[in-house]
Amino acid sequence: MVNIQIRGNLIRLELKTIPESENFSSIINSNSQIDFKNYLKKTKSEQKVIYQNTLPLIDSICEIHITSFENDNYYDDGYTFFRSNLDELKCKNEDFKIPIKVLKNDHFLLNIKTGYGAGFETEIMDLNYENFETEALKVFETKMFGNQSNIMHSLKLNYLDLQDLKRNKFDFAKKQTYLIKKKQDDLFFLSSKKISGQVEFLRSIDW
């Protein structure tokens, strides 16, 4: 078995619906950050997650580690046979869509968390360090919302899409919440476009 981990700085994107109670308009039009934060806390159980993804930031400390283990041997410490900066692999710039499955709501929440850890981890059975071809790995990257940060949004081995196991081996240092209003009826964001051109920002909170 081969384990692939990408470690370094990362972001987690989370899109959520927000319930619109009777006093919703007065809350979002108010200048009180406390009222807005309290509204978010009060309605937390009613907020529905419609998209969530953890994405490694491709920078000077983003590394990929590839380790070989014996299949079904839980006591095997493994052999890390490949370690490199992620940007030294084959990188292809390719946009990706972030789906927004909100049909009735015009408003929703965008949470952006920044942190450090394993932003991607996957395992491939029946491979080991002797037959694994690292040159067959391809990184797909894009610029997140038009800024200068490159993120990895997918990883392939030849033509095989590698799936993140979502083991959540990371910690967050900062969280920002944005109240957003759709400008159009599209059901997705294009990640490389400036987000200000796709939605209207109404409120923001740093936690």
d(Cα 54, Cα 44) in Å, to the nearest integer?
A: 21
Query: Pairing mode, if any, of strands 150-157 and 137-143?
Result: antiparallel
Indicate whether 103 pLDDT > 60. no
pTM attached to this predicted model: 0.85
Residue 10 has which token pair?
């990362």
pLDDT band at 101 (very low <50, low <70, confident <90, very high): low
pLDDT band at 8 (very low <50, low <70, confident <90, very high): very high
- Kindly report, residue by residue over 32-88, the tens digit of the pLDDT: 899 999 999 999 999 999 899 999 999 999 999 999 998 777 677 889 999 999 989
Domain positions in the chain are: 2-206
For residue 126, what pLDDT is reported? Answer: 87
**Contacts for 203 with CB less than 8 Å, ≥ 6 apart:** 28, 36, 178, 179
Strand partners, 139: 91, 155
- For residue 201, which phi and psi values (nearest 5 degrees)? -85, 125
User: Tokens 């990257």, residue?
Assistant: 141
